[in-house]
Structure 1
Amino acid sequence: MTQTIATELTETITKLVLEELSKVGLAPSGEPLKYVPVGVSARHVHVNRAHMDILFGPGSELTKFKDISQPGQFAANEQVTLIGPKGTIEKVRILGPLRKDTQAEVSPSDARKLGVNPPVKQSGVHDGTPGITLVGPKGTVVIERGCIVAERHIHMTPAEASAFGVQNGQKVQVKIEGPRGGIMNEVMIRVRDDFALDMHIDTDDGNAFGLKTGDKVEIITE
Structure 2
Amino acid sequence: MSSCDTCVVRNRAICAALDNHEIEALNGIGRQRQLQAGDPLIWEGEDSMLVANVIDGILKLTNCTEDGREQIVGVVYPADFIGRPFGAKSHHSVTALTDAKVCLFARSDFDRFASDHPALEHKLLKRTLDELDRTRAWMLLLARKSAEEKVATFLLDMSERLVDTACESPQGGPMDHFELPFSRQQIGDVLGLTIETVSRQMTRMKRDGILDLPTRRTVRICDRAALEAMAG
Q: Which TM-score tier does this pair reach, normalised by the shorter chain?
A: under 0.3
Please, what TM-score do these two structures have when normalized by structure 2? 0.26
Q: Give the number of the structure whose residues are more often helix, by fraction.
A: 2
- Between Structure 1 and Structure 2, which shows a larger proportion of strand residues? 1
